[in-house]
A and B are shown apart, each in its own frame.
Chain A
Amino acid sequence: MLTKVQSAANSGLEAIGVDVEVSVSSRGLPGFEIVGLASKAVDESKERVRAAIGNSKMEFPQRKITVNLAPADVPKDGSLYDLPIAVGIMASVLGYAIPEKSLFFGELSLDGTLRHTRGAVLMALFAREHGYKNVFAPADSAPEAAVVKGVNVYALRSLEQTAGFLLRKTQLQPAVYEERERVEIQTEAEFDMAEVLGQERSKRAMEIAAAGGHNVLMIGSPGSGKTMLARALPGILPFLNEEESLEVTKLYSIAGGIPPGGSLITTRPFRSPHHTISQIGLIGGGQRPQPGEVSLAHRGVLFLDEFNEFPRAVLESLRQPVEDGTLTISRSRERVTYPCRFILVASANPCPCGYLDHSKKPCVCTPREVSKYRKRVSGPILDRIDLHVEVPAVDTQEFAENQSASALAESSRDIRKRVDAVRRIQEARFLNERIYTNAEMKNAHIKTYAQLGAEAERILQRAANRYQLSARSYMKLIKIARTIADFAEEEHIETEHMAEALQYRPRAYIIE
């Protein structure tokens, strides 16, 4: 007897339909084979299926069982074929018909229950695109799949329940996406902006970065508050819009970053990998390419603390992702494209000891050590960072004596309101473009959307000559000025906007 069950294989963010063909034959010696470029994880599925069926008050057929995963030339990996294989085998015993236009996936536990499986949202999207009506998913993964409207998602707890439903003995209602099931990967920022003492300019830079999606580099002595500023950033980031939410959810879904029972991710991710990270950890990769930190930070923040401590090769690999916002990982078996549009926040000390040009402590580094330290980060990388900010050491005494200074500080909630408003302006502006933020503008966009007043242009020209700005920096300054003008709700970039943007230009002494 031959049964066909529909499932799908993930390849990056794409899915390919897979027919799980199960042949249970009474001729030949009893056995169980899986063919069709199955990986080790798929092959092990035999043992899980055998035990799960046995433990679900059913007899595992003592026949020759052959499972073919078609198309046979597409590599298949993961544990998601447990359910379709089991459903196919059970059909030969129980004699039910496989429902039409239905997709099955899910990992089995030996006791017959279904476990949370990665990639649920991608399965559901694939199902909708290819005209499937039903998706059968493990109960823990169903809320995630239910995010996709237009397909019925059935949440299955166990094989027994599945069999009951397929035999029409029990009823099952399709799962419904509920707002309260959203996952907050980063619920709250660790700090409120109001907690950061002083640093008015750096806070302003963070506000501009959050609003326009600009990258930031902070340079300052130890203890000046660089890390605190970065960690307070999630608190002023706007919420994800629907489309962005889905993009982020997809990435976390294949990376296994969505907890059982979780569904849509609505807050922006904040990733802060340690500086010992490998190139593949940062960029993504592996035999079956997995998203790296840059992709997991998509639509959110990638915070690289101690920027100069990262291995140079790792930093250099950031160049193209930062510029393009997408990344193609090519391996011999697969080529996968992941999005990676993030705000890069980097922080660094001015020199190895950290006290170069500190007003109170002398620096103990020789010029050679300083230049060696700085050379770890190349010019091209620094050139791709929009906002360059110096974070000076804070005189804590001043704040101890003067409480009112900290009372003046705005809370993250107030700043976020402004940031939100500026994001809305950008959304309206780029309605017909494929970008969301000012930082993503290409030169053609700049011509259309970021027109400089005559005086503003003159100032920029002067600054470019005086500070010897690169062509890329020149464009970046226009983008920053665009965001600043958006804060002022001005259509054209005026003098004061350009002048403020100049505060964040790259400093010559950093790029030597």
Chain B
Amino acid sequence: MTQFLMDNIVTKENSRYPKLLAEIGKDAPKQLYYKGEWNQDLFERCLAVVGARRMTSYGRRVTEQIVSEVAAAGITIVSGFMYGIDETAHRAALMVGGKTIAVMPCGIDIIHPEYQADLYEKILDKGGLVLSEYEGTHPVASWTFPRRNRIVAGISKAVLVVEAGETSGALITADLANKYGRKVFAVPGPITSSVSKGVTRLLREGAEAVGAARDILALYGAGFRTARKDSVPRHVAGELEQKIVELLEGEPMEIDVLARQLEVPASRLGASVSMLQLEGVLSEEQGKYYVC
């Protein structure tokens, strides 16, 4: 066991220790325990994606959309393995074959939260990395979460905050990023939502508003090897189907709203939408349809 741990540790003195993380000086952890294959390339270009645990479907959609493009462009997505935005970011990166690093708030031998064990396995399977400054089975504590955040911010060139309430841990990460001189991006949300409050604060304090993945990619100087498919004109059979796709490209919506906008009975629309779904043009989540 001890032998195993010794193999999976990178100390501050080691040449493999991430350079960006070393730059944060006193805050940098003395050592990093890890699971997975330590590949120096992983740390080249990192983007931290953090946000609320209690996200809305808007937060989920935005995270999926932006992360999948950014990850597809070869940027490593760093997050904290918590449920909510963190989890969505990890999964979205894996979905497009991107790399992702999870920084745990607990000892390296524990999975927290444990019910996300499947995600843990996937991250390791796909060449990602799990990091922690704590050894063995160090328990999770209320203070390990904010401390974990300094690693998330430290190894990343920029931090993207998607949804955050007034007291969200994501704000701690953003503040740390500011302190370390890293760029902070924030996705604006509806001002009526409680998980927009923290984001709005960040924007007021000078974070850069993100409207699309390219706003972030510009910072990394990454080429637009985007996986965005709308550059290719879609060939969809049928006039109604064409209209559906056009409407949904603008904004994901429920079938009822579609029916009212197109003035087509829900029965007929249902048939078309099912076919588009089977053909892989549309996908559905919690009742809303969007173009894949």
Cβ of A364 within 8 Å of any chain B Cβ, yes or no, is yes
CB nearest to B190 among chain A residues: A360
Q: A444-467 CB contact bits vs B (8 Å, 1 = yes)?
A: 000000000000000100110010
Contact across chains for B255 and A201 when beta carbons are under 8 A apart: yes
| Stretch with Cβ within 8 A of B (4 or more), from A300-308, A377-385, A498-506 | A498-506
Q: Which of A362, A466, A487 contacts B54 (CB 8 A)?
A: A362
**In the assembly, what is the distance between CA of A462 and CA of B278, in Å?**
7
Cβ of B97 within 8 Å of any chain A Cβ, yes or no, is no
| Stretch with Cβ within 8 A of A (4 or more), from B12-20, B41-49, B145-153, B268-276 | B268-276
Cβ of A392 within 8 Å of any chain B Cβ, yes or no, is yes
Contact across chains for B274 and A499 when beta carbons are under 8 A apart: yes
| Stretch with Cβ within 8 A of A (4 or more), from B25-33, B67-75, B283-291 | B283-291
Q: Which residues of A contact B273 (CB under 8 A)?
A: 503
Q: Which residues of A contact B56 (CB under 8 A)?
A: 357-363
Given the known inter-chain contacts A358-B56, A499-B274, please indicate yes or no for A350 contacting B193, CB distance below 8 A.
no
Q: Which residues of A contact B193 (CB under 8 A)?
A: 360-362
**In the assembly, what is the distance between CA of A362 and CA of B193, in Å?**
8
Cβ of A198 within 8 Å of any chain B Cβ, yes or no, is yes
Contact across chains for A484 and B267 when beta carbons are under 8 A apart: yes
Q: Which of B192, B272, B285 contacts A360 (CB 8 A)?
A: B192
Cβ of A298 within 8 Å of any chain B Cβ, yes or no, is no
Q: Which of A220, A362, A392, A463 contacts B52 (CB 8 A)?
A: A362
Contact across chains for B58 and A359 when beta carbons are under 8 A apart: yes
Beyond A358-B57, A362-B56, A503-B274, 9 additional contacts (C-beta under 8 Å) are A200-B256, A200-B265, A360-B190, A361-B193, A362-B195, A367-B115, A459-B278, A463-B274, A500-B270
Contact across chains for A201 and B259 when beta carbons are under 8 A apart: yes
A–B Cβ pairs within 8 angstroms, 8 of them: A200-B259, A200-B266, A201-B255, A367-B113, A367-B115, A463-B274, A466-B278, A502-B274
Closest 6 CB pairs of A and B: A200-B266, A390-B287, A357-B286, A499-B271, A357-B57, A502-B274
Contact across chains for A200 and B278 when beta carbons are under 8 A apart: no
Q: Which residues of B contact A390 (CB under 8 A)?
A: 286-287
Q: Which of B256, B267, B275 contacts A392 (CB 8 A)?
A: B256
Which residues of B48-64 have CB atoms within 8 Å of chain A's CB atoms? 52-60
Cβ of A203 within 8 Å of any chain B Cβ, yes or no, is yes
Cβ of A371 within 8 Å of any chain B Cβ, yes or no, is yes
Q: Which residues of B contact A366 (CB under 8 A)?
A: 53, 83
**In the assembly, what is the distance between CA of A360 and CA of B59, in Å?**
10
CB nearest to A496 among chain B residues: B271
Most B C-beta atoms less than 10 A away, residue of A203, A357, A408, A496 = A357
Contact across chains for B260 and A204 when beta carbons are under 8 A apart: no
Contact across chains for A500 and B274 when beta carbons are under 8 A apart: yes
**In the assembly, what is the distance between CA of A463 and CA of B256, in Å?**
22
A: number of interface residues (CB 8 Å): 41
Total inter-chain residue pairs, C-beta < 8 Å = 109
Q: How far is the CB of B69 from chain A (nearest CB, A)?
A: 22
Which residues of chain B have a CB within 8 Å of any CB of chain A?
52-60, 83, 113, 115, 163, 165, 190, 192-195, 254-257, 259-260, 265-268, 270-275, 277-278, 285-288
**In the assembly, what is the distance between CA of A503 and CA of B54, in Å?**
28
Contact across chains for A499 and B60 when beta carbons are under 8 A apart: no
Most A C-beta atoms less than 10 A away, residue of B57, B272, B287 = B287
Which residues of A415-460 have CB atoms within 8 Å of chain B's CB atoms? 459
Given the known inter-chain contacts A350-B286, A371-B115, A392-B254, please indicate yes or no for A463 contacting B278, CB distance below 8 A.
yes
Contact across chains for A204 and B266 when beta carbons are under 8 A apart: yes
Q: Which residues of B contact A204 (CB under 8 A)?
A: 265-267, 270
Q: How far is the CB of B289 from chain A (nearest CB, A)?
A: 11
Contact across chains for A368 and B115 when beta carbons are under 8 A apart: yes
Q: Which residues of B contact A35 (CB under 8 A)?
A: none
Most A C-beta atoms less than 10 A away, residue of B113, B256, B268 = B256
Q: Which residues of A contact B115 (CB under 8 A)?
A: 367-368, 371
Which residues of A11-66 have CB atoms within 8 Å of chain B's CB atoms? none
Contact across chains for B267 and A500 when beta carbons are under 8 A apart: yes
Cβ of A405 within 8 Å of any chain B Cβ, yes or no, is yes
**In the assembly, what is the distance between CA of A200 and CA of B257, in Å?**
9
Contact across chains for A198 and B58 when beta carbons are under 8 A apart: no
**In the assembly, what is the distance between CA of A357 and CA of B60, in Å?**
8
